[in-house]
């Protein structure tokens, strides 16, 4: 039988020499595994005399514990080495110059960032919600009763019904995020919601996927005057010029009163000039949040009130940056993106200009 000192020297050496975790585990099994050399020796204790056992027993146990501790220590070292190797192979040289030519920011993203900057200045934060919505958030809670004709006006994309016959939808507007926010946050609420929206519609000014920015303010005192001031300020900041606006009465199930906001513009040759002129262009829908919507979200309309608005981002991008056809925006043509795209390194801000 090999003596304890010999075993100790042998395995301590092998543990130290193990180059990786697999090799270390092989040494551990050879020494301490069920059929390992140390374990086999422990089994011979039963055949020893009492006196012999008194000496060999504790000695073997000591050897076992010592080797186990050495394995653990070596394991820690090897794990550290393995991690360092991964980190070394995944280094990123942050000092490499960026090739600005290889990518541009899509005008829609640029405009959403500009909007976020302008509304952040008015104290709004950004909220988001899912593109695939249920009927409750997209319609019912927004005061579209089942069978309401306005549901059809939205040219909704329905998904296949589930086992209960319920059909999810691709959200037709960003307004469901109003519901999600009011049901999960306590007023005062002051959010904008940039996001994708979907309607079954396609021509020069409509694409089946488009973008909206929603706005929602809920507190105890906000009124229609605040709504008008907020949006009038927004358009002048966005178009970076004085813009004359008008509010026309309109109807949305989820606001009362409701309005559409138009901006003055004129056409000079092929160019559309926003701000002055003799024509009006509609750019957004808005209104005071309907009491039924507040109730559906568990808010007391005698205590809380506020306004909401929603606007099409793609159209505003076309107006500001002069793209003639909405469909080009989503064609994924590299030349178009190179021409109309924005530098990803320049961040929109109100101090030095939005674009
Ligand atoms: N959700 C409306 C639409 O898509 C826009 C809107 C939002 C109107 C909020 C009023 C208030 O047409």
Per the listing, tokens 């590299």 go with 334
Q: Which atom of ligand 1 is nearest to the CA of 307?
A: 11
pLDDT band at 101 (very low <50, low <70, confident <90, very high): low
The chain-wide mean pLDDT, for the chain, equals 92
- Is there a cis peptide before residue 300, judged by omega within 30 degrees of 0? no
Which tokens hold the place of 83? 């991690």
CA distances from 114 to 83, 110, 215 (A): 42, 6, 15
pLDDT at 31 over 60: yes
Distance 329 CA to ligand 1 centre (A): 22
If pLDDT is split at 50, 70 and 90, which confidence band does 206 have? confident
**Under 8 Å CB-to-CB from 332, ≥6 apart: which residues?**
none
Regarding the beta carbon of 252 and ligand 1, being less than 6 Å apart is answered yes
DSSP of 237-284: HHHTS---EEEEEEEETTEEEEEEEEEEEEEETTEEEESSSSEEEEEE
Q: Which among 308, 311, 314, 316 is the best mutation to test ligand 1's pocket, defined by most ligand atoms within 8 Å of the CB?
A: 308
CA–chain centroid gap for 38, Å, is: 56
* Crossing angle for the helix pair 313-321 and 224-239, to the nearest 10 degrees: 40
pLDDT at 14 over 60: yes
Atom of ligand 1 nearest to the CA of 212: 4
Q: State pLDDT tens for residues 211-250.
A: 999 999 999 999 999 999 999 999 999 999 999 999 999 9
Give 2's pLDDT tier (boundaries 50, 70, 90). Answer: low
Between the CA of 293 and the centroid of ligand 1 the distance, in Å, is 13
Parallel/antiparallel/unpaired status of strands 125-126 and 189-198: parallel
Largest CA distance in the chain: 114
CB 305, CB 273: distance < 8 Å: no
Please indicate whether residue 304, judged by its CB atom, sits closer than 6 Å to ligand 1: no
- Domain 107-340: CATH class, spelled out: alpha beta
Distance (Å, rounded) from C-alpha 191 to C-alpha 272? 31
Cα 275 to Cα 316: distance, rounded to the nearest angstrom: 13
| Token duo for residue 144 | 């579209």
């Amino acid at each position: 039988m090999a003596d304890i000192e010999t075993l100790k020297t042998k395995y301590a050496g092998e543990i130290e020499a193990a180059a990786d975790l697999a090799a270390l585990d092989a040494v551990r099994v050879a020494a301490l595994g069920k059929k390992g050399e140390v374990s086999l020796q422990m089994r011979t204790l039963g055949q020893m005399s009492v006196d012999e056992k008194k000496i060999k027993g504790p000695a073997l146990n000591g050897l076992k514990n010592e080797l186990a501790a050495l394995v653990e220590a070596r394991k820690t070292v090897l794990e550290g080495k393995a991690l360092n190797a991964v980190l070394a192979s995944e280094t990123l040289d942050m000092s490499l110059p960026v090739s600005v030519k290889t990518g541009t920011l899509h005008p829609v993203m640029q405009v959403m960032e500009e909007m976020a900057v302008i509304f952040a200045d008015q104290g709004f934060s950004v909220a988001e919600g899912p593109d695939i919505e249920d009927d409750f958030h997209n319609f019912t809670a927004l005061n579209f009763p089942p069978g309401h004709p306005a549901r059809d006006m939205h040219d909704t994309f329905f998904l296949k019904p589930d086992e209960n016959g319920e059909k999810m939808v691709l959200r037709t507007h960003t307004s469901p995020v109003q519901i999600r926010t009011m049901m999960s946050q306590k007023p005062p609420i002051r959010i904008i919601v940039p996001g994708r929206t979907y309607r079954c519609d396609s021509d020069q000014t409509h694409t089946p996927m488009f973008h909206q920015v929603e706005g929602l303010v809920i507190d105890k005192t906000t009124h229609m005057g605040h709504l008008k001031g907020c949006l009038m300020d927004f358009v002048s900041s966005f178009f970076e010029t004085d813009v004359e606006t008008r509010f026309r009465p309109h109807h949305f199930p989820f606001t009362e009163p409701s309005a559409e906001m138009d901006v003055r513009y004129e056409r000079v040759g092929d160019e559309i000039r926003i701000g002055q002129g003799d024509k009006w262009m509609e750019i957004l829908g808005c209104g005071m949040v309907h009491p039924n919507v507040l109730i559906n979200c568990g808010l007391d309309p005698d205590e809380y009130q506020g306004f909401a608005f929603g606007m099409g981002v793609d159209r505003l991008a076309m107006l500001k940056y002069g793209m003639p056809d909405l469909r080009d925006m989503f064609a994924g043509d590299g030349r178009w993106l190179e021409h109309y795209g924005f530098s990803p390194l320049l961040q929109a801000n109100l101090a030095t200009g939005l674009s």
